[in-house]
Amino acid sequence: MVRFGWLCSHESYQPEMLVDQAVRAAEAGFDLVLGSDHFHPWVDDESAAGFVWTWLGAVAARTDLELATSVTCPLYHYHPGLIAQAAATVDRLSGGRFMLGVGTGENINEGPLGFEFGDYRERIGRMREALEIMRRLLAGEKLDFAGEWYTTDKARLYSPPVGKLPILMAAGGPQSATFAGRRADGLITSVKKPSDTIENVIDPFKQSSAEHGHAGTVLATRWTVFADDREQAWRALGTMRGLRAEGRLEAVDPMVLRERADGMDRDEILDKYTIVHDVAGLIDVYRELVTDVGADYVSIQVASTDPDRVLDIMKTEVLPELRKLDCA
């Protein structure tokens, strides 16, 4: 049975607002709440960037939801041992309800703190070591590790997780998906065209996961904008518009991304998103993730000018319909 998650965007809302939003998501019937992890946001004029790990503790105390990061980067300003400690702590505070979602990151979270953001080859090499360190620490080992990128000396978690804590890795292509299947417990992938995602991401992941005896959990996500018209859609995307600006992987200053985004044609940015205007549109957007993709979790990510209204709609109309589709 598919479980449904709601993404709380830390680039868009202050953390105290997102605690309340997570409570609303629980009331709406979601099974999981996910938090993004950013040091800097995508623009500097209407944005936020709370510390997701503090927020997760607050949400653990306020709800009975499963919790996850979507995603955190354990490669530069975080040492993987520190992320293992943070994940284990959240797992204990939530009574074993935490999943650690990781990815290879963006420079906007690393460069501002003085870290040189490497190319893909470096980052996947770092991820290989990071996953090993985190997995071994979470399993209770006292760890001596001397890798190319990281070192530990008798490192151990003295507040370990309450049970096996799954690690899911974000991937958008076959190379990363195969890597995730080999070294992680699950996959996080953003779906645009389901057939492409299945062929290029999910199938390689599942094949690799099966070969290495891993759980093979799939969390599929899709960004959607809920708006009456394109003007309202632009306002809904205000905090995220820098995400589509040129050079977003290399940038360190949200001001630069905001300036670049505001210099672009609005339609060029809006056309990169799925914009829906009514309940039927929301159901249709996520229908394929339930019926075609074969995901264990479907993460619903909706930009809007009124998230409370969207959560009300999710509770009364969208989630009940999606659960019917899952049972059909």
| C-alpha torsion 23→302→222→121, nearest 10 | -80
Beta carbons of 25 and 317 less than 8 angstroms apart: no
8 A C-beta contact, residue 216 and residue 167: no
In the set 10, 66, 79, 106, the catalytic residue is 106
277 included as an active-site residue: no
Strands (E), the chain: 3-8, 32-35, 66-69, 98-102, 143-146, 151-155, 167-170, 186-190, 217-226, 274-276, 297-303
Token digits for 16?
């105290």
Whether 38 is a known active-site residue: answer yes
Q: Could you say which DSSP state residue 106 is in? A: -
- Report the SS3 class of residue 201: helix
Out of 38, 40, 79, 214, pick the active-site residue.
Answer: 38
Within 13 Å, how many C-alpha atoms sit on residue 109's CB side? 23
- φ, ψ of residue 100 to 5 degrees: the values are -95, 115
219 vs 189: CA distance, rounded Å: 6
Gap between the Cα atoms of 36 and 80, Å rounded: 17
Q: Please, which residues have CB within 8 angstroms of residue 122's CB and are 6 or more apart in sequence?
A: none
Task: Please return the burial class of 78, using the count of CB atoms within 10 Å of its CB with bins 0-12, 13-18 and 19+.
Answer: buried
Write the CB contacts of 17 (distance below 8 Å, at least 6 apart in sequence).
none
Catalytically annotated residues? 38, 106
